[in-house]
Amino acid sequence: MRLQIPLAITFLIGLFMAVQFFVPHEVFQYSFESLLAWVRIVGAFALVLGIGSLLRTHWDKIRRRRRDWPYSIVTIVSFLAMCVIGIGFGHEPGTVFYWVFENIQVPLDATMFSLLAFFIASAAFRTFRARSTEATLLLVAAVVVMLGRVPSALIVSFGDTAVGHYLHANMPDVSEWIMNFPTVAGKRGIIFGVALGAIATALRVILGIERSHLGGGGGGGQ
Amino acid sequence: MAETIPLEQVLGTWVAALLTLAIFSFLYRDNPVYKIAEHMFVGVSAGYGVVITWREAVIPDLIQPLLDPAAVDLAGPNYVVLIPGALGMLMFSRFFPRYDWLSRWPIAFVMGYSSGLAIPAAIQMQLLPQLHATLQPVWPAGEVTWWMALSNLLLFVGVLCTLAYFYFSREHKGALGVASRIGIFFLMVAFGAGFGQAVMARVSLLIGRVRFLYDDWWMTLVAPWFGGG
Amino acid sequence: MNVEERPVGWWRAESIWTRLLSLDRRWIFLGIALAVLIPIITGLTLPLGKPAPPTVAVYDYIDALQPGDVVMFAVDYGPSSMPELHPQALAMVRHALEKHLRVLSVSLNVQGTALANDVLQTVGEELGAVDGEDYVNLGFKVGGSAVILGMGEDILTVYPTTADGRRTRTLPIMAGVRNYDDIALVIDLAASNIPGAWIAFAKERYDQDVALGITAIMATDFYPYLQSNQIIGLVNGLKGAAEYEALVGLEGEQAPGMLGMSAQSIAHLLIIVLVIVGNIAYFASGRQRVGH
């Protein structure tokens, strides 16, 4: 029972969603709209899983005095504070919640990701080697795209010369051509593979062959 | 500096600038200030997610249809939302080991929905239109220039060869071997272009932060102290 | 590593090249920081170059719409991609509001709704546009594809209220707007795979025209859909934002995309120099021969 019911739910809902796309009938239409509304509601609760495991991890760290546990207090306090000011006092522009979003969350998130600029530069220096034909193609394509997207870099390199201006005028076209033809060809091969893979996986889930997502027994572990 | 900046904005910019510097301090080496900022980020983001989901999704989709139907343009309470509501609530059973098997129901529901949808999506968005778009005129005529025709041919050959590379059911020898080798070349150009774009993206993110630090913080709030700005 | 296999000569083992390859990466960090900082401090301006055709396609499409037409902005990005996508959003929303189009905003990414508020408020105030008449932020909904498909049937069912709790039906902007049949263009601004859902469900199921504003890193993933005409155009990264700003005719503080482009050029140059120097050092130090 504990497994049969979820498997039956997945099978029925999955079958319905796959079939309704191809059968435009009024009954299907009404159920389709209702089902979409249900997904939007059930989906909201999925957040519970993520937040739950986040809080559990940090709470465990504090309780067991694991390494760096005081930082976990920062996480939990920030989480609770955000919830209180947002649920208690509104979330529109002009509220404290919005101020925290703009002045704490935005800079932290954006800066965290901007660190990647430094790491990608360092990686380019250390690992980007013209070791083989393949690697050389990769390198050349990367450089052409980097210059083609910001052709003014070519004016900086070649100065106010005929070569500089010629490259400045034409490199964007070369870069667009690389994006439009060889890149699309390579990516499209991948897209076909991914699409077939997605269909196969979806069928396995609907038919109950793939059930790892239901492995939630035993304290929530996978 | 004729106009005065509102106090909460001054305070906000200072907080944002100090937090930005706190994250950047990681570039020198890992340190407690960075760790505090990082952990604050995780907590604040999670809290933000809960608040927005509560206010913009749960209240109008679940609570108001039951308790305040007029606010969401309903003539009377819509009790049907209790079904997905109850299904969703079962997610909380995760926190009670004895009953956590119940959380499989909503998960099964969402998985069924997304798997069922994935099949027509893959066919209609990816397989058919992408296949169709690969078959472009490869003979120069009318509006199709010879360069265009050649590029289209290259695209067609490229897609075939890339597929040959991903075809693992036969050993890559003979014609298949040649095709898959050409396929690798196309993949490498695609990855190279991807790397170039990635560099572009990462640098843009840094520019955003540096411009904030320089324009919004340094030039607006700090430099005026020194008589600049 | 077998030291004896290394070539002998002035470039041998402990040569300048080997030392260069083991350079503390913090020097590279410093270089990148300066490459970005100096152009910004000095206010260096460099020519932008011609706009990419996919950007022009989006601009032309919006420019050809008539006053009162509805465009929907899906603000599906968070702060982590704000430097690239926020300037795009600002320029495109400004273009739409200047043309007196009606602007609806939705978010499938939870962080997008707050950023949508920022864009609409900033541009709305500058242009004197009215919230609820000229633009409105409908806000965030959970469910991704279920939101996109739901709006194909009835937007009011998915969004009975706006982000700030007003009844959507009562707003003047919603007059005559029921589903995608009444929307000229959906512009998805995203840094994830969400554009795929817009293409699969809004375009392929409801034949809704879709344009994308994406981060540069996503570009190679979505060019195939551009070539197949499943999207009408694509604005790519900070450069795309700068191109769009130039097309709209913005400058100075109103064109944050353009302000960043000089720094972008210099940083790209530095990275290309690093790649070249890295390769020279690699081959000159003989590391490639020892199966590195």
Residue A189 lies in a domain: no
User: Is residue A21 situated within a structural domain?
Assistant: yes
Is B1 a residue whose pLDDT tops 50? no
| pLDDT confidence tier of residue B227, bands split at 50, 70 and 90 | confident
Q: What is the mean pLDDT of chain B?
A: 92
Q: Which residue of B has its CA nearest to C200?
A: B125
Residues C135 and C172 in one domain: yes
Other CB atoms within a 10 A radius of the CB of residue B25 amount to 15
Give yes or no: residues C14 and C77 share one domain.
no
- Cβ-defined contacts of B101-107 (< 8 Å, 24+): B101/A2, B101/A216, B101/A217, B103/A49, B103/A216, B103/A220, B104/A2, B104/A3, B104/A5, B104/A6, B104/A214, B104/A216, B105/A5, B105/A6, B105/A9, B106/A42, B106/A45, B106/A46, B107/A6, B107/A213, B107/A214, B107/A216
ipTM for the complex shown? 0.91
Contact (CB<8Å) C36/B73: no
3-state secondary structure A113-124: HHHHHHHHHHHH
Domain range for A10 is: 1-89
Angle of CA points B70, C164, C78, to nearest 5°: 135
Residue A151: inside a domain, yes or no?
no
| pLDDT for position B229 | 46
Q: What are the start-end ranges of the H helices in B81-127?
A: 82-89, 104-121
Give the count of domains, chain C.
2
Domain that holds residue C32: 3-44+261-290
pTM: 0.92
Summarize the confidence of residues B49-69 as an average pLDDT: 93
Amino acid C22: pLDDT: 83
Domain count, chain A: 2
Write the CATH number for C171: 3.40.50
A37 and A109: one domain? no
One domain for residues C170 and C117: yes
- Average pLDDT (B53-65) is 93
Question: Are C106 and C35 contained in the same domain?
Answer: no
Closest CB from B49, B114, B207 relative to C263: B207
- Considering the domain architecture, whether residues C246 and C179 belong to the same structural domain is answered as yes
Residue in C49, C53, C237 nearest the CB of A151: C49
Please give the residue of chain B at the shortest CA–CA distance from C139.
B56
**Residue A48 within a domain:** yes
Q: At C273, list the tokens.
A: 């120099």
Q: Which residues of chain C have pLDDT under 70?
A: 1-14, 287-292
Contact residues, A window 92-151, toward C, CB-based 8 Å cutoff: 92-93, 98, 101-102, 105-110, 112-114, 117-118, 120-122, 124-126, 128-131, 139, 143, 146-147, 149-151
- Residues 57-86 in A contacting C (C-alpha not used; CB under 8 Å): none
Please tell me the predicted confidence (pLDDT) of residue C253: 85
Q: Check residue C9 and give its pLDDT.
A: 55
**pLDDT mean over B68-75:** 90
pLDDT < 70 positions in chain A? 216-222
Q: Which of C179, C177, C180, C184 is CA-nearest to residue C232?
A: C184
- The answer to whether residues C151 and C284 belong to one domain is no
Q: pLDDT tens across C151-179, in order?
A: 999 999 999 999 999 999 999 999 999 99
How confident is the model at residue A42, as a pLDDT?
Answer: 93
Residue-wise pLDDT tens digits, B112-169? 999 999 999 999 999 999 999 999 888 888 888 999 999 999 999 999 999 999 888 8
**Given CB atoms, is C80 within the 8 Å cutoff of chain A?**
yes
Q: Judge if A58 and A105 occupy the same domain.
A: no
pLDDT at C2: 47
The phi, psi pair for B30, rounded to 5°, reads -60, 140
Q: In this structure, are A17 and A99 located in the same domain?
A: no
Asked if B107 reaches chain A (Cβ–Cβ under 8 Å), the answer is yes
Residue of B nearest to C191 (CA): B201
